[in-house]
Every structure is written in structure tokens, then in C-alpha cells.
Amino acid sequence: MTAANWAATDGIGHIETHGAAPIPENERHGRPSELALIFFGSQMNYASLLVGAMPIAMGLSVLGAFSAILVGTVLGACAVGGMAMMGQKTGANSVMTSMAFFGARGRYVGSVIIQMIDLGYFAMGLWVGAPQFLKILNIMMHVPETPGWMVFSILTCGILVVVVALLGHATIVFYEKLVSFSGIAIIALILVCVIMHPTGHFDPAGVHKTANPAALWVLSASYFLANAISYAPFAGDYTRYMPASTPSFKLFMWTAFGMIAGCMLALSSGMVIGLRVTDPFDVTQQMVGSLPSILILPVTIIAVAANTCNGAMVVYNGVLNLNAILHKWRRVNVAYLFGTLGIALGYVGLVIMKMSDSIMALCSIVTMLVTPWITINIIGYFHARGWFDVPAIRSPGPVSGRSYWYVNGYNLPAVFAWVLGILFGIPFSNNSIFVGYFSKFTNNIDISFIVSALSGGIIYLFSSIFIKRNSIVKITDKNQTNGASFS
């Protein structure tokens, strides 16, 4: 493939032409090492600093907070790495690849729940980025921080995110590389300024005073586990551009390394900042206040750029997943629809209803829905020993004896395992929308997504082993044309 043709299909600054369908082998130009920078750069933003300060705000010691960050991040990064292992086998993103385990129609399970989480995170990204953008306008042009200008900021930030997502894979990969290096510099700068000019020292007395340190540690570790695992559905967006011969182990290692390094740097920095401010529940304004006035504008600009990049990852994933449902639409048109929905949600939530707490709770619930789906995909991959024969599914011809695919509409054992996993997790929920009965036995700590992931995975594993082999079948000439396709 010539450089000109490559640029036309997936070049930096060019609109990517591929949608949810598998990427042809001759157009796969990705390298495993790119995954490290992609997932490292995804953590270089204010949101990571805020999350990193949470265990300090809740009263954990430095050692307790750091160990919670480490344990939660490593476990979550393994899930992200696990989802990265299969993209090069199919040339498709994670939702399309889930056909192998949930069925040709069962893939809509992943599409729907990931649509919900992508829209929620897109809206939350606007709630973080729009005030920062308005701050830039205030510094540069003395624009007042009024509701009208906030609406303008939401629209501007939302459009910037959608444009980057619309350009697609190559642009996002390049953008994440830039954010990786600039983010390190900005976080280091903020960290030095906060240490040298603290705004105060937080007194945790009275915060979660009824909870013991062990319970607080579990709560904190679950936050960091959820933070990392929320990136798992994104992995296939980038590994689908890896050549089919790329070893799965390399994809796992580079992805997990990038996630762990990025999370540990950003979250640990947030933890340190939390020790040097008066209110670590809201570190953003205080850490910016520690900066010399000459640095406020450049730091804020780079922070907005980082949030835009992170938002573009979310929107790109949401567009591909929606394209898997609206498969007759072009990806460009799907991007317009998804962007409009996300910006509208951001406006309604931030300006009209001020529902940020409710959206956080909604994302907690959706995380409970998506974690058993992730677990089932990873278990299914290892049960298949990594074999996917996509050409055999998409076109007539000889079929490999080692092909592995569920070719009918729904793989009921996988769907039932997912549903049962959710039912087991719901009683352990604890958020502003719903409090489950069993959460009182976990010190009111929401571990619903952990319970749902473990129970759904175990049920699927045993059903795959003991239930009749029609749960996952080998493709034969007879069933090859039964409708299992990517369209």
C-alpha cells in the first residue's frame, strides 16, 4: 500500500474511512509499542489527579493510598491488556470481536452498555474541560464566567473532541503521543509548585470516621480498579490496526505497561497534591492557585488539550460501537449523531440539571454492567486458544479446522452468564441512585462491579466446560453462511 493511499484511509490529519468492519491486512500499520503511549497518555489529565487525591481525602495514610493505587491499577491494567490481545486476530474492535463469544446478534449487548458508558464519560469530560476552557477565555479576553459563556465553552470543547474523534485512529495515536510527553512536564510542574507553595494541609478528622482503614483501603482500591478497567473496551480500537501476525503477548504487555505507568504517575501525583491542599476532594482550583501567574495560562491550555485527547478516545470508541449497530451508515455520519447526543447530555447535565453526582452514579452502574462482559470476552479468548478465522466467516471458501466462532444469533450461555453476573452484583451496589442490601456487609463500599465480574466469569467458564458444546462451535461448510458477519 502506498503512502498516499495509507494517508487517505487512516493518515494523521485525514478523516479515517474505516468504520466498524474489519481492517484489511494490507492497511494495518500499527506497532505494539504504540499501545503503551496511547494508554499512558490517556491518564495525563486533571481527572487523574483528582482521583489520585481521593484516598487522602478519605483519610488513608500515604502507604495505604499508594498501595491501593498500585493494586487497583495493576488488576485493572491486566483486564485492559486482556482485551487488547484479540484485536489483531479479527481486525475489528472489541464489540465486533465479542461476536465470537456472545453471537452475531449478541454483540449488541456490548454495543448498548458501552454506548451508555461512552456517553456518560463524554459528558463528564465536558464538565471538566468546559470550565477550564472558560478560564482560558477569562484570562486572555476577560470573558465573564456566566452561564451563557459556559454553554459556549461546552459547545467549543465538545466540537473539538468530536473533530479529533472524526479524524480517527492515526490522529488520536499521534495526539496521545504528544499528550504523553507534554503531560509529564505539566504534572511535574504542578507537583513542584504545590509542594513548594501548599495551600494548606488537609485534616481528615471526621471524614469517614466510622469506616476502618481496611474498608477505606478496599474502597480506594476499587476506585482505581474501576478507573483502569474502564479503558478495556477501548483496546480493540487500536489493536485492530496491528498486523495479524503480531504476538498477543506483546499486545498485552505494552498495553498493561502503558496503563500501569500512566496511572501510577498521574494518580500518585494526585495523592501527593492531596497532602498539600486544604480540600483534596477538589484539588483542581487549589493546585492551579499554587502556580505562578505566568504559568497558569500555558498549563491550563495543555490541560484542555489533554482532556480533549482523552475525550476523543471515548467518542471514537462510542462512534465505532454505534457504527456496529448502524452498520449501513458511514462512520462520519455516526460521529455527528454521537457527538450531538454527547454535547446535549453535557449541556443538560452541567447547565440545566447540575447532575454530575447522578452521572457518576450512573457510570458506577454501567461499570457493573460492562465488567462481566469484559471477563466473558477474556475467558472466551483463552478458551478458544486465540483462534479466530474471520475470512471464513465473511466469505465462502475452505474453513480452517481450528476456527473458533459462535455463528448463531445469541450464545445463550454467555448472555445468561452476563445477566446472572449483573444480578449477583446489584445487591452490592452503593451509589446516589441505588443502595443494595448486601452493601451494609461491606461497610457501604460499592463492590458491585467486582462481584458481577467474578460471578459472571465463573458462570461462563463452567458453562463453557460442562454445557453442551453448542455454546461455542467450530465453523463448518454447513453453518458457514448462517449469517455470522461483521455487517
Using one digit for the tens of pLDDT, what is the confidence trace for 421-463?
999 998 988 876 778 788 777 777 788 888 999 999 999 988 7
Confidence grade of residue 57 (pLDDT, cut at 50, 70, 90): confident
Q: Which residues lie across from 435 on neighbouring strands?
A: 430
pLDDT band at 394 (very low <50, low <70, confident <90, very high): very low
When the pLDDT of each residue in the chain is averaged and rounded to a whole number, the result is: 80
Taking CA atoms, 422 is separated from 10, 106, 467, in Å, by 38, 16, 21
Residue-wise pLDDT for 221-265, tens only, equals 888 998 899 899 999 999 999 998 899 999 999 999 999 999 999
- Cell numbers given for 201: 494541609
CB < 8 Å & 24+ apart, contacts of 278-283: 278/199, 278/200, 278/201, 278/202, 279/57, 279/202, 280/53, 280/54, 280/56, 280/57, 280/202, 281/53, 281/54, 281/57, 282/50, 283/49, 283/50, 283/53
Domains and CATH numbers, the chain: 28-354 (1.10.4160.10)
Query: What is the rounded CA–CA span in Å between residue 125 and residue 423?
Result: 30
Give the N- to C-terminal CA distance of the chain in Å, as an integer: 25
pLDDT at 62 over 80: yes
User: pLDDT at position 384, please?
Assistant: 64
Residue with cell 488520536: 172
Q: At what angle do helices 62-84 and 46-57 cross, to 10 degrees?
A: 140
Residue 370 has pLDDT above 70, yes or no: yes
Distance, in Å, from the CA atom of 374 to the CA atom of 428, rounded to the nearest integer, reads: 19
pLDDT exceeds 80 at position 398? no
479 pLDDT tier (thresholds 50, 70, 90): very low
Picking from 269, 283, 327, 280, the residue whose alpha carbon sits closest to that of residue 111 is 327
Asked if the model's pLDDT at residue 480 lies above 60, the reply is no
Q: pLDDT grade, residue 274 (50/70/90)?
A: confident
Kindly report the number of other CB atoms within 10 A of residue 55's CB atom.
30
What values do phi and psi take at 468, rounded to 5? Answer: -50, 145
**Euclidean distance between CA atoms 363 and 118, whole angstroms:** 9
Q: Which of 424, 429, 436, 430 is nearest to 460 (CA)?
A: 424
More confident residue, 302 or 362: 302
The confidence score (pLDDT) of residue 475 equals: 33
Amino acid at position 338, single letter: F
- The model's pLDDT over 284-319, given as tens digits with 9 standing for 90+, comes to 777 877 888 888 888 888 888 888 888 899 999 999
Query: What's the Rg (C-alpha) of the chain?
Result: 22
Report how far residue 90's alpha carbon sits from residue 21's, in angstroms, rounded to the nearest whole number.
10
- pLDDT over 90 at 80, yes or no: yes
211 pLDDT band, cuts 50/70/90, is low
pLDDT digit string (tens) for 130-181? 887 887 787 778 888 788 888 888 899 899 999 999 998 889 999 988 888 8
Q: Looking at residues 357-377, what average pLDDT do you find?
A: 77
Q: SS3 for 435?
A: strand
DSSP state, residue 437: G
Contacts for 292 with CB less than 8 Å, ≥ 6 apart: 193
Q: Which amino acid is at 451?
A: V
